[in-house]
């Protein structure tokens, strides 16, 4: 042993092995080891103090070297050459990497130390630092030492350090990169010259995204990947569509020309928001289905949608290891740091109900957000720092080193497939034009754009490199470019001269085959045989013999057993029967939301917990050996990401009942971007149908402004062209039927359900079992009163019906006042309402009553439609318009409720309000007027 070697975590096993050999027979080790161990023994005996001191100094130095190695692994990226523009001077050193920071000096540079990076594992400190800088401080900077899992750190080190993070690509790989770079750049320049002034959100400056994605897709064939779903913003989208998904140039050029194909229906969207899918055959002849998810301009909103889509595909493949479907999310630097949905989606990554086996995140880091510089758009060093929360590797790479970029993409894929976790690539590049092609970036970033304007493209840089190294001739390079130009010119000429729209978009296919995009009022039978309902009820109450229930839960299950076998059923029991009947019919059910397993109001109890072992049991998954599966998940405390995920799931799985439940209905406003941009308008914009169900607890019970209204008015404002269904069921039977109807119809439309709170335990809000066995959901429920004697017809929706019935009986006006329940508000059930109106033509007063304030609830939606339908002016009875949904005082709420119910049945409201001026003082008056 002729090197300065001491025991440390890198060579302890080797030292132990040689020490035992020396103890057994000194001749078994070479002379250097004998000298070392003899000195060690002398030091131990007290007779070799000098030698011991020497060894102690060597130990300190070796420990310092080990610390230096770890420091480069941890912060070597601080010195990496990542910015093609060199906007800030690159640091050649860092105080935390100085020799003095480890107790070393220049005198140690030519000493040899043990290290795990060289082969053999000994070299001088000078050589070691060169190796570390070559690995961690060149064109690739890696952050991974924040990961606590030592297996992951070791795996990354073993992949990166032996090759110094320098990929060795053969000529075939290099030629593929230059081909993809030509396709990426020449596509952009072609559009720039042929469609002057049109927005396209160019990828120029970040063209390496195309070879990166191509490398990941090609390599995924090794793992047998079947599906890759991409999500991305508008920048570079057209390029990805053309050069990754192979969307025909003719279709893209037609969109620029304004020759848009006729779709099944809807308004369409701008070309840089559209999605596309295609089968890609790799060079290994492996077929992978690629899908780019359509998205709105709301950056990062598509992230959870992509995750949900992939989860649905994995379920279809029975891919429990989550290896065959991969989500790839492409981000901008400002959006990745700035949008909260990024953190929410990252938080989904390892949760049982939402994980997809790891997402590959690619940040196209233009070093600017519209006109905002990084120093003004984030408080962190890197735009990717938020990803450290889930302890995943982050690769920073210079976007002008093509081989480094592709290498990092392939390494990221290997990591994802090995560990089933997210991975982040931060490709540092630039944006050649402004935010769009008509924008002038020099107004706000003059220095940055002076540098950009002076730069030649990455295609030219890499071509020059290959030519100079003899790997490509100048003639070959020009032929490649000319081939792409000629191909685009030929397609352009055909599209530009013919002015023909592409062929109409085909109807539903694949998993959606047989379904229609069109809504229909045609009734569908959703009743279930009585014996089936009773069997489900018995199975729900039958637990494993060793399962120990909470005593209170025993009473709940006993009551539920009685309801489901004898009747009448409450809301929770009706829901359980609807789920169970669908499962027996082969329709799987998915429900997710905050506290959805138990239910916000302790009503559902779909997952039981053993009181002694905490083991979980799902009764509805024990109905039959051939049944479908019920999946109920308690979500993270997020609305936007979870609803986006479940919506994405519904896009790829139309034959499952997929529900998202808000803890309280108004909490859904935290997911407004998903509701507005995807659920309500996605079909019209992108032709993508969804059967997602939103369960939104709604009702005024004096719980204050934030726990009363599910904001029914907002959903009704979004209603048009039969885009969504909005229902307010008033009985458990109606709830039972509407859930079953959702998957029994021949089309899929999002379903918004105003679900109850107090009605969950209301003694009148129950349904006989017989109402679950026949018929189906009724959009309008008429009063059984004798129509000839009715003088006042009261229309309402939801919980207030029960208050009105009680008041009518108290006032003994059951013959004079008819109460009609509007159970489905959209699509507007005009025919059913017309039939009701015809029954009561002799009535003198027509009233709409609601709990919500006049500017909220259904009034502004139903008023013009009721008047148009009947030719009659309807009176409004309800709370006056207000800024807040409800009073914060329970006492005031009770008085308000009593007043409006009494007014609705026929009392003199002005007299009553005058008798209670405190109502006006509280800011929630009542109003009765004629519209």
**8 pLDDT higher than 90:** no
Distance from C-alpha of 203 to C-alpha of 237, rounded to nearest angstrom: 8
Residue 607's nearest CA partner among 557, 653, 646, 642 is 557
Please give the distance of CA 582 from its chain centroid, rounded to a whole number. 27
Please give the distance of CA 6 from its chain centroid, rounded to a whole number. 51
**409 pLDDT higher than 70:** yes
Q: Please answer whether residues 753 and 898 qualify as being in contact, where contact means their C-beta atoms are separated by less than 8 angstroms.
A: no
The two structure tokens encoding residue 53? 């001191």
The two structure tokens encoding residue 487? 């191909």
Which residues fall within 8 angstroms of residue 160, CB to CB, at 6 or more apart?
135, 142, 411
Of 415 and 22, the structure prediction assigns the larger pLDDT to: 415
Backbone angles phi, psi at 238, to 5 degrees: -60, -35
Per-residue b or e along 152-162, where b marks 16 or more CB atoms closer than 10 Å to that residue's CB? bbebbbeebbe
pLDDT in tens, 616-646: 999 999 999 999 999 999 999 999 999 999 9
- Tell me the three state secondary structure of residue 4: strand
Q: Which residues pair with 394 in a beta bridge?
A: 143, 424
- Mean pLDDT along residues 904-927: 48
pLDDT in tens, 294-334: 989 898 999 999 999 999 999 999 999 999 999 999 999 99
Least confident segment among 373-387, 404-418, 426-440: 426-440
H-helix or E-strand containing 560? helix 551-566
**185 pLDDT higher than 70:** yes
Distance from C-alpha of 565 to C-alpha of 497, rounded to nearest angstrom: 72
Per-residue b or e along 315-334, where b marks 16 or more CB atoms closer than 10 Å to that residue's CB? beeebeebbbbbbbbbbbbb
Per-residue b or e along 95-104, where b marks 16 or more CB atoms closer than 10 Å to that residue's CB? eebebeebeb
Q: Residue 604 has what pLDDT? A: 95
Distance from C-alpha of 307 to C-alpha of 316, rounded to nearest angstrom: 14
Q: How many CB atoms lie within 10 A of CB 491?
A: 18
**273 pLDDT higher than 70:** no
**446 pLDDT higher than 80:** yes
DSSP secondary-structure letter at 594?
T
- Tell me the three state secondary structure of residue 377: helix
**222 pLDDT higher than 50:** yes
Length of the chain: 931
Distance from C-alpha of 485 to C-alpha of 249, rounded to nearest angstrom: 12
- Tell me the three state secondary structure of residue 230: strand
Q: Please answer whether residues 743 and 658 qualify as being in contact, where contact means their C-beta atoms are separated by less than 8 angstroms.
A: no
Please give the distance of CA 392 from its chain centroid, rounded to a whole number. 18
**718 pLDDT higher than 80:** yes
Residue spans of beta strands (DSSP E) within 131-238: 140-143, 227-231
**504 pLDDT higher than 80:** no
Q: Please answer whether residues 859 and 876 qualify as being in contact, where contact means their C-beta atoms are separated by less than 8 angstroms.
A: yes
Give the confidence band of 831 by pLDDT, cuts at 50, 70, 90. Answer: very high
Distance from C-alpha of 151 to C-alpha of 169, rounded to nearest angstrom: 27
Q: Please answer whether residues 436 and 189 qualify as being in contact, where contact means their C-beta atoms are separated by less than 8 angstroms.
A: no
Of 195 and 821, the structure prediction assigns the larger pLDDT to: 821
| Cα–Cα distances in angstroms (integers) from residue 496 to residues 195, 196, 919, in the given order | 11, 14, 68
Residue that the structure tokens 């001026």 belong to:
917
**411 pLDDT higher than 80:** yes
H-helix or E-strand containing 270? none
Give the confidence band of 258 by pLDDT, cuts at 50, 70, 90. Answer: confident
Q: Residue 333 has what pLDDT? A: 94
Residue that the structure tokens 């060149």 belong to:
138
**439 pLDDT higher than 90:** no
Residue that the structure tokens 């770890």 belong to:
70
Distance from C-alpha of 259 to C-alpha of 274, rounded to nearest angstrom: 15
Mean of all residue pLDDT scores within the chain: 90
Q: Residue 498 has what pLDDT? A: 80
Evaluated on CA atoms 204, 205, 211, 212, the torsion sign reads negative
Q: Residue 79 has what pLDDT? A: 97
| Cα–Cα distances in angstroms (integers) from residue 714 to residues 709, 710, 711, in the given order | 11, 9, 6
Give the confidence band of 261 by pLDDT, cuts at 50, 70, 90. Answer: low
- Torsion over CA of 612, 618, 619 and 624, rounded to 10 degrees? -130
Residue that the structure tokens 């959901």 belong to:
777
Please give the distance of CA 333 from its chain centroid, rounded to a whole number. 18
Distance from C-alpha of 680 to C-alpha of 671, rounded to nearest angstrom: 12
Distance from C-alpha of 28 to C-alpha of 20, rounded to nearest angstrom: 10
Distance from C-alpha of 804 to C-alpha of 850, rounded to nearest angstrom: 10
Residue 136's nearest CA partner among 394, 415, 477, 381 is 394
Which residues fall within 8 angstroms of residue 911, CB to CB, at 6 or more apart?
none
Q: Where are the alpha helices (DSSP H) in 46-149?
A: 49-75, 125-136
Phi-psi region of 165 (alpha: psi -120 to 50; beta: other; left: phi over 0): left
How many angstroms separate the first and last alpha carbons of the chain? 99
Q: Residue 21 has what pLDDT? A: 78
H-helix or E-strand containing 396? strand 394-398
Per-residue b or e along 463-476, where b marks 16 or more CB atoms closer than 10 Å to that residue's CB? beebeeeeebeeee
Q: Please answer whether residues 911 and 723 qualify as being in contact, where contact means their C-beta atoms are separated by less than 8 angstroms.
A: no
Phi-psi region of 886 (alpha: psi -120 to 50; beta: other; left: phi over 0): beta
**863 pLDDT higher than 50:** yes
Q: Residue 894 has what pLDDT? A: 93
Q: Residue 10 has what pLDDT? A: 39
Residue 742's nearest CA partner among 892, 894, 591, 881 is 591
Q: Residue 555 has what pLDDT? A: 93
Q: Where are the alpha helices (DSSP H) in 585-686?
A: 640-652, 672-674, 682-686
Count CA within 13 A, CB hemisphere, residue 504.
7
Distance from C-alpha of 154 to C-alpha of 148, rounded to nearest angstrom: 11
Q: Which residues pair with 754 in a beta bridge?
A: 696
Distance from C-alpha of 647 to C-alpha of 750, rounded to nearest angstrom: 9
Give the confidence band of 255 by pLDDT, cuts at 50, 70, 90. Answer: confident
Per-residue b or e along 766-792, where b marks 16 or more CB atoms closer than 10 Å to that residue's CB? bbebebbeeebbbbbbbbebebeebeb
Entry pTM? 0.91
Per-residue b or e along 23-60, where b marks 16 or more CB atoms closer than 10 Å to that residue's CB? eeeeeebeeebbebbebbebbeeeebeebbeebeebee
- Mean pLDDT along residues 688-706: 94
pLDDT in tens, 19-67: 777 788 887 776 555 655 665 555 555 544 545 555 677 788 999 999 9
Q: Please answer whether residues 756 and 701 qualify as being in contact, where contact means their C-beta atoms are separated by less than 8 angstroms.
A: no
**918 pLDDT higher than 50:** no
pLDDT in tens, 347-388: 999 999 999 999 999 999 999 998 898 989 999 999 999 999
Give the confidence band of 88 by pLDDT, cuts at 50, 70, 90. Answer: confident
- Torsion over CA of 909, 914, 920 and 926, rounded to 10 degrees? 0
Q: Please answer whether residues 859 and 800 qualify as being in contact, where contact means their C-beta atoms are separated by less than 8 angstroms.
A: no
Residue spans of beta strands (DSSP E) within 815-881: 817-822, 824-826, 845-853, 875-879
Residue 293's nearest CA partner among 646, 723, 680, 651 is 651
Residue that the structure tokens 């997602």 belong to:
692
């Amino acid at each position: 042993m002729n090197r300065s070697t001491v025991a440390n975590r890198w060579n302890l096993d080797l030292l132990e092995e040689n020490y035992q050999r020396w103890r057994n027979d000194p001749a078994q080790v070479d002379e250097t080891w004998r000298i070392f161990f003899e000195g060690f023994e002398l030091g131990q005996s007290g007779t070799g103090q000098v030698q011991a001191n020497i060894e102690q100094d060597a130990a300190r130095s070796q420990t310092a070297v080990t610390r230096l190695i770890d420091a480069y692994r941890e912060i070597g990226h601080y010195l990496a050459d990542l910015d093609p523009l060199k906007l800030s001077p690159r640091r050649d050193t860092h105080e935390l990497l100085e020799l003095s920071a480890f107790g070393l000096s220049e005198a140690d540079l030519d000493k040899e130390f043990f290290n795990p990076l060289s082969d053999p594992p000994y070299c001088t400190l000078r050589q070691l630092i060169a190796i570390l800088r070559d690995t961690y401080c060149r064109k690739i900077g890696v952050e991974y030492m924040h990961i606590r899992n030592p297996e992951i750190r070791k795996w990354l080190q073993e992949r990166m350090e032996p090759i110094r993070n320098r990929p060795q690509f053969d000529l075939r790989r290099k030629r593929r990169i230059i081909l993809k770079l030509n396709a990426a750049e020449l596509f952009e320049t072609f559009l720039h010259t042929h469609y002057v002034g049109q927005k396209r959100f160019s990828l120029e400056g970040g063209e390496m995204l195309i070879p990166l994605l191509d490398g990941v897709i090609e390599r995924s064939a090794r793992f047998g990947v079947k599906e890759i779903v991409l999500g991305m913003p508008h920048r570079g989208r057209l390029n990805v569509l053309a050069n990754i998904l192979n969307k025909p140039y003719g279709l893209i050029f037609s969109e620029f020309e304004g020759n848009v194909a006729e779709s099944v229906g809807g308004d369409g969207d701008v070309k840089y928001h559209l999605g596309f899918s295609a089968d890609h055959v790799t060079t290994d002849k492996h077929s992978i289905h690629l899908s780019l998810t359509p998205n709105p301009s709301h950056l990062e909103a598509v992230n959870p949608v992509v995750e949900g889509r992939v989860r649905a595909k994995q379920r279809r493949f029975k891919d429990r290891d989550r290896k065959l479907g991969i989500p790839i999310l492409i981000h901008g630097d400002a959006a990745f740091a700035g949008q909260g949905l990024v953190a929410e989606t990252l938080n989904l990554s390892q949760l049982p109900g939402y994980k997809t086996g790891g997402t590959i995140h690619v940040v196209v880091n233009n070093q600017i957000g519209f006109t905002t510089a990084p120093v003004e758009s984030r408080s962190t060093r890197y735009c990717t720092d938020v990803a450290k929360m889930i302890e995943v590797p982050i690769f920073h790479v210079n976007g002008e080193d093509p081989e480094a970029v592709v290498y990092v993409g392939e390494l990221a894929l290997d990591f994802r497939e090995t560990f089933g976790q997210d991975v982040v690539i931060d490709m540092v590049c630039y944006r050649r034009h402004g935010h769009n092609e008509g924008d002038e970036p020099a107004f706000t970033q003059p220095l940055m754009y002076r540098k950009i304007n002076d730069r030649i493209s990455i295609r030219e840089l890499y071509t020059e490199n290959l030519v100079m190294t003899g790997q490509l001739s100048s003639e070959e390079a020009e032929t490649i470019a000319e081939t792409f130009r000629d191909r685009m010119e030929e397609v352009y000429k055909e599209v530009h001269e013919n002015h023909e729209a592409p062929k109409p978009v085909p109807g539903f296919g694949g998993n959606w085959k047989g379904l229609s995009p069109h809504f229909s009022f045609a009734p569908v039978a959703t009743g279930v045989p009585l014996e089936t309902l009773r069997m489900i009820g018995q199975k729900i109450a039958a637990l494993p013999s060793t399962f120990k229930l909470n005593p209170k839960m025993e009473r709940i299950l006993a009551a539920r057993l009685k309801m489901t076998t004898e009747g009448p059923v409450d809301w929770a029991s009706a829901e359980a029967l609807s789920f169970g009947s669908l499962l027996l019919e082969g329709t799987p059910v998915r429900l997710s939301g905050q506290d959805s397993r138990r239910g916000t109001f302790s009503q559902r109890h779909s997952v039981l917990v053993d009181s002694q072992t905490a083991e979980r049991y799902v009764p509805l998954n024990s109905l039959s050996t051939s049944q479908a599966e019920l999946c109920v998940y308690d979500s993270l405390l997020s609305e936007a990401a979870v609803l986006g995920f479940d919506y994405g799931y519904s896009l790829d799985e139309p034959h499952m009942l997929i529900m998202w439940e808000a803890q309280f209905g108004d909490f859904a406003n935290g997911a407004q971007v998903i509701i507005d941009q995807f659920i309500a308008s996605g079909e019209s914009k992108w032709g993508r149908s969804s059967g997602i169900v939103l369960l939104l607890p709604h009702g005024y019970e004096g719980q204050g402004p934030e726990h009363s209204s599910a904001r029914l008015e907002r959903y009704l404002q979004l209603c048009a062209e039969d885009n969504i269904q909005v229902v307010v069921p008033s009985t458990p039977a109606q709830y039972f039927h509407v859930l079953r109807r959702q998957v029994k119809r021949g089309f899929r439309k999002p379903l918004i359900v105003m679900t109850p709170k107090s009605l969950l335990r209301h003694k009148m809000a129950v349904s006989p079992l017989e109402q679950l066995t026949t018929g189906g959901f009724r959009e309008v429920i008429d009063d059984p009163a004798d129509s000839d004697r009715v003088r006042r017809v009261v229309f309402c929706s939801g919980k207030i019906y029960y208050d009105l019935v009680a008041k009518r009986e108290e006032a003994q006006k059951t013959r004079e006042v008819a109460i009609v329940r509007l159970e489905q508000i959209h699509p507007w059930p005009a025919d059913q309402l017309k039939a009701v109106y015809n029954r009561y033509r002799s009535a003198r007063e027509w009233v709409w009553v609601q709990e919500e304030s006049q500017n909220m609830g259904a009034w502004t939606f139903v008023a013009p439609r009721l008047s148009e339908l009947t030719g009659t002016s309807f009176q409004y009875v309800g709370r006056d318009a207000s800024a807040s949904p409800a009073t914060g005082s329970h006492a005031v709420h009770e008085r308000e409720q009593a007043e409006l119910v009494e007014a609705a049945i026929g009392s003199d409201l002005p007299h009553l309000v005058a008798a209670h001026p405190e109502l006006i003082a509280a800011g929630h008056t009542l109003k009765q007027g004629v519209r």
